Chains A and B, each alone.
Chain A
Amino acid sequence: MKQLDHMLEVKDMKTHFYTEKGMIPAVDGVSFHVDEGELVGIVGESGSGKSVTALSIMNLIEQPGKIVDGEILYNGEDLLQVSEKKMESIRGNDISMIFQEPLTSLNPVLTIGKQITEAIRAHQKVSKKEAKKQAIDLLHRVRIPRAESVYSSYPHVLSGGMRQRVMIAIALSCHPKLLIADEPTTALDVTIQAQIMQLLKEISKDIGAAIMLITHDLGVIAEMVDRVIVMYGGKIVEQTDVHTLFKSPEHPYTKALIESTPRFHTLEDEFYSIQGSVLQTHESIQGCKYEPRCPYAMDVCKKEEPLLEDMNEGHKVRCWLHDQ
């Protein structure tokens, strides 16, 4: 069957948060897949549910959140059904994740070397010496100069870019098949962001890992990925390959997002802006989530939410405009 071909397949996943102020459907029925070696981007603004999607796949959702429905199939096995022990081994060996803020993801009281070798030895039975060799190898691979001295230093002496490289090294320590990168460059300076993006591209080529890149920046999407998933209000609103997305976006939100990104590479200054702001997720509405901001809103949009439908080969859109 075709379905089994996908390395990762998420089916109708729902992650809800139960807070004092009521239930927040942060991710509300999301389905997509990632193939081997593919670069997939998830783009959306804050509150769109893109980060929660990533954490859900890693099964790292904490109280008061809960994955309430759906399946996350990794090579055909539902990650929501496996034991915590099995999940731990998958988290290191098969799927790794890097985060936006590398400083908080590293333990401040352990040396870089200790943290990398720990990750290596958690998943492979190797001697300490072998682990150190591998760790220094990894530091070289993420283009860290003076790897030996970085190996024995503590996280706080490194710059943001260096820390992110270390995080990538740890993520790569067990040869993952899928690397989930949640806004890996957002906290970094532009010139450092360019370095890290180049590194991620090289890595995916070198080791053939698939990368799921989560970002709010369409520029990063355009530079990096093959296929794009656009999220809004906890749902996928559009999904297609990167070229089609920028050439002929179909969902009004995608269009607005592309338009509102400053035309940096041309001299014209006019920029378009979307009215209103991203919905707070608990302000739920009956119909299409984007309806209050949408310039093309029709009567039906208020009443009922459209489904994510196939327009043509692989291009999916959730909008009533494309129902006909």
Chain B
Amino acid sequence: MSTTKTDEQTDYILEVKGLKKYFDVTDGLFPSSKKYLKAVDGIDFKIKRGETLGIVGESGCGKSTTGNLIMNMLAPTEGKIIFDGEDIHSLSKRQMREKRKDIQMIFQDPFSSLNPRMKVFDIIAEPLITHKSSRGKELQKEVEELLEVVGLDPSHAKRYPHEFSGGQRQRIGIARAIALRPKLIVCDEPVSALDVSIQSQILKLLKKLQSELQLTYIFIGHALPAVKSISDRIAVMYLGKIVEITTKEQLFSSPMHPYTEALISAVPIPDPELRDARKQIILEGDIPSPVDPPSGCNFRTRCPLATEKCKEVDPKLLEKRPGQWVACHYALEHGKGIITDDV
């Protein structure tokens, strides 16, 4: 731990402050006013070294945009992303190239994330060659080791991606992501394109790598079960905002935001005995468009608790319980989570 920095700074590997990303979607030749798609609309969170933060939400909630902003694939409209004490969007091109070693990404679609015209060896060697960290025999050895670490046969290096199944391809993508020994990996829905039985293999692998390589993960997903199984803390996003962020245990045993509660309740439970026993909360209507979000609280159009106040005042993300931050005027007093330990 560095002595010049305060404890608070060293504790966190990543801090996101007031992050906003608006896309200009003004159309027409002579628009009367500018229109923006508010993909990410002012979010704050911190990630401790070695922990996994899950970001969960439905389409249009801004979770993937958040990932792309952290990867510096997009420039934020407003706000800061502080990685290891430095704002990554203020770095020069060369500094950023260096920084890329520390932040890597695992992608959703194992079929589009690997260049079909490159052999597995070249795919995994690319980060090592780009950063000139090894070459020749050493490079060969390193790639083979990486393949073994992710559970593939080193002899597979000579093959092309199309010869592998989805799960194996995802392993190749993981090998590429860990090749430079990054500190933080942004996992953008890494299992949602895979079959259930393969999903758990990949999640297991990610957990194993996390403890072996002291990785910090941001795990973005739309499926709560996968996010739950890997995360320490979870942020729930809705229409560009974080509506609740807390530890996994708190979130599932006593969710405080009505959206979190509905989201958890909407997940089908693989147990037919519970089918009629539980009362499922089914939200009315559709997710509004992020181009034209509702006034006040974003969620009020679908919220069973909405009042006049929600129409006018946008609730702030506040710590309603120790470690549980919620953006709701009427946070649920007694979480009615579906977690039942006696099952």
Chain A residues in the interface with B (C-beta under 8 A)? 45-46, 145, 159-162, 189-195, 197-198, 216-223, 242-243, 245-247, 256-258, 260-262, 264-267, 269, 271-274, 277-278, 280
Contact = CB atoms under 8 A, between A and B. Distances in A.
B341 interface: yes
A264 B225 contact: yes
A273 B202 CA distance: 9
A195 B283 contact: yes
Interface string B276-298: 00001011011100000000000
B58 A191 contact: yes
A277 B302 CA distance: 40
B341 A262 contact: no
13 contacts: A190-B267, A191-B282, A192-B286, A194-B280, A198-B282, A222-B268, A246-B273, A260-B196, A260-B200, A264-B267, A266-B341, A273-B197, A273-B198
Nearest to B265: A194
B268 A272 contact: no
Please name the 4 residue pairs, one residue from A and one from B, whose CB atoms are nearest each other, closest first. A219-B268, A189-B58, A262-B225, A273-B200
Nearest to A189: B58
Interface in B83-112: none
A198 B281 CA distance: 11
A189 B223 CA distance: 9
Contacts of A221: 270
Interface string B122-144: 00000000000000000000000
A198 B228 CA distance: 24
Given A262-B226, A269-B229, A271-B200, A219 B283 contact: no
Given A195-B283, A262-B228, A267-B341, A273 B201 contact: yes
A222 B280 CA distance: 14
Given A277-B165, A277-B166, A277-B168, A266 B197 contact: no
Contacts of B285: 145
A222 B223 contact: no
Interface string B190-211: 0000011111110110000000
B166 A242 contact: no
B222 A218 contact: no
A278 B224 CA distance: 24
Contacts of A272: 200
A108 B150 CA distance: 44
A222 B287 CA distance: 26
Given A191-B263, A277-B167, A267 B252 contact: yes
Nearest to A277: B165
B59 A189 contact: yes
A246 B223 contact: no
A257 B272 contact: no
B343 interface: yes
Interface string B23-64: 000000000000000000000000000000000001100000
A277 B263 contact: no
B197 A260 contact: yes
Contacts of B224: 190, 264
A185 to B, nearest CB: 9
A278 B198 CA distance: 9
A45 B273 CA distance: 23
B223 A190 contact: yes
B274 interface: yes
A162 B286 contact: yes
Contacts of A260: 196-197, 199-200
Contacts of B201: 273-274
B124 to A, nearest CB: 20
A15 B81 CA distance: 54
A191 B226 CA distance: 16
Interface string B212-249: 00000000001111101100000000000000000001
B339 A266 contact: yes
Contacts of A192: 58, 286-287
A2 B41 CA distance: 62
A195 B286 CA distance: 10
A245 B275 CA distance: 14
A198 B265 CA distance: 13
A237 to B, nearest CB: 14
A191 B262 contact: yes
Contact of A278 (B165, B199, B268, B339): B165
Nearest to A243: B272
Contacts of B166: 46, 277
A193 B197 CA distance: 21
A197 B340 CA distance: 23
A207 B302 CA distance: 29
B282 A219 contact: no
Contact of A217 (B253, B268, B273): B268
Contacts of B59: 160, 189
Nearest to B227: A262
Contact of B197 (A45, A222, A269): A45
A191 B266 contact: yes
Given A193-B266, A260-B200, A271-B203, A246 B271 contact: yes
B338 interface: yes
Contact of A222 (B225, B252, B253, B275): B275
B343 A265 contact: yes
A283 to B, nearest CB: 11
A191 B197 contact: no
Contacts of B274: 222, 265
Contacts of B58: 189-192
Nearest to A242: B272
Most buried by A among B59, B196, B201, B285: B196
Contact of B200 (A220, A223, A247, A262): A262
Given A191-B283, A221-B270, A278-B197, 14 more contacts: A45-B196, A46-B195, A159-B286, A161-B286, A191-B262, A191-B266, A191-B302, A219-B269, A257-B197, A260-B200, A262-B229, A265-B343, A266-B339, A277-B168
A129 to B, nearest CB: 30
